[in-house]
Amino acid sequence: MRLKELGMTKEDIKRLVNKYMIDTYERFDMVAETAKDMYLYDADGDKYLDFYAGIAVNSAGSCNEKVVAAVIDQVQDVIHTFNYPYTIPQALLAEKICTTIGMDKIFFQNSGTEANEAMIKMARKYGAEKYGNGRCDIVTAKMGFHGRSFGSMSATGQPDNACQQGFGDMVPGFQYADYNDLESFKAASTDKTIAIMIEPIQGEGGVYPADMEFMKGLRKFCDKEGLLLLLDEVQTGWCRTGAVMCYMNYGIKPDIVSMAKAMGGGMPIGAICTTEEISKTFSMGSHGTTYGGNPVCCAAALAQIEELLDRDLAKNAQNMGEYFKSLLKTLPHVKEVRGAGLLIGVEFDETINAADVKHGCFDRKLIITAIGSNVIRMVPPLIVTEADCGKAYEIIKETVNLQLTNCG
């Protein structure tokens, strides 16, 4: 839809949103009308260099031609059916994902939150069935983020986060440990613990990657104690961090892994993958979904994943990530540049306000985001070039310098 075709203005759209939609988002002052590759175009004809990619979704570029073609082709055949009939896109996507990442079984969901919810349910049921003694607790990391449904937000180790406030008691059975501290996870585990669940990189927690020793130590500890290792790769999966899945950077393999975001190319889809043995935990009626594995979403995801793999965008993420980080380290008042591949966080000292940088960059036609008071985060499409990185860097630098001038 285009405003001109509808005979409407940007102000008309803003008025409708303000009148009818529940307000939970900080809106940018733009109407996103079209998008292509690295850019988002508003109804006024302005183009924005998108270094947020719909929150790490548009990894093969916005409106990737092969993804668009796959969607158009599929909607002419079957848009939706329930999960009793077999569908071609679902079967092909299941094979593609499992064979690519070396897992046995997959279950499709609609989002990252739902994927994490399914992973939590599977682990708890596995523990109850295998040990029969109420062994269903899960240890997660402080400052992690796993979603906004009750199970996933209870797994989120941020009790002061707005996503947990005002909703009453969280789901019991979760303990929290310090990220990158193996001894803390060991201490938090009891005879009721069945799993450890973490993000390989804490995105919402400030872009903190797991240390190699920590990740390998968790795998060994889980093997020794009969625990499941659950990895939330909703944001890190599918080439974002320089490997197809982030856990491959560590030379380990989880028992269950969740994924979403980049796998759909802009269409809503998520999934969990696991082993043959653990997959038997879910039997008929124990878990389900109406839209999960939707034919159109699966067709889009298949095209998206093929683009990511065929174009070796994991390698580009690795190369461009290193280049971009080298630029960002030269910004004024930077304390640390963190991340892997093209999941990058820049922490400033107290002189710089991250939210002001985010808004200042938007005013200069660059889209990034902020975490807390002093961290900005970038997750651009994995097709990004050195020229794109250079342009983004110059805008961020200009914005930071202006903030310093105004403070002075």
The per-residue pLDDT for range 307-348, each reduced to its tens digit, is 999 999 999 999 999 999 999 999 999 999 999 999 999 999
Q: Are residues 186 and 253 in the same domain?
A: yes
- Look at residue 61 in the predicted model and tell me its pLDDT: 98
**289 and 183 part of one domain:** yes
Do 183 and 239 belong together in one domain?
A: yes
Q: How many domains, the chain?
A: 2
Helices 313-328 and 386-407 pack at an angle, to 10 degrees, of 30
Beta strand residue intervals within 129-241, DSSP E: 137-141, 174-177, 193-198, 201-202, 208-209, 228-232
Whether residues 39 and 83 share a domain: the answer is: no
Share of the chain above pLDDT 70, in %: 100
Question: Does one domain contain both 280 and 317?
Answer: no
CATH number of the structural domain spanning residue 231: 3.40.640.10
Name the token pair of 57. Answer: 């979704």
- Phi and psi at 259, nearest 5°, equal -150, 160
21 conformational bin, left if phi > 0, alpha if psi -120 to 50, beta if neither: beta
Same domain, 367 and 306: no
Which 8-state DSSP code applies to residue 12? H
- The pLDDT tens digits of the residues spanning 177-186 come to 999 999 999 9
% residues pLDDT > 90 (the chain)? 91
216 vs 44, higher pLDDT: 216
Domain containing 375 equals: 3-60+313-407
Q: Are strands 193-198 and 174-177 parallel, antiparallel or unpaired?
A: unpaired
Does residue 35 sit in the same domain as residue 170?
A: no
Q: How confident is the model at residue 95 (pLDDT cuts 50, 70, 90)?
A: very high
Write the pLDDT tens digit of every residue in 103-156: 999 999 999 999 999 999 999 999 999 998 789 999 999 999 999 999 999 899
Q: Which of 27, 68, 133, 8 is nearest to 266 (CA)?
A: 68
Alpha-carbon gap, residue 137 to 194, rounded angstroms:
6
- Given 256, 282, 310, the domain boundary residue is 310
One domain for residues 289 and 392: no
Phi, psi of 338 (to 5 degrees): -125, 165
Please report the pLDDT score of residue 158 as a whole number. 84
Residues 306, 66: Cα–Cα separation, whole Å: 9
pLDDT of residue 408: 63
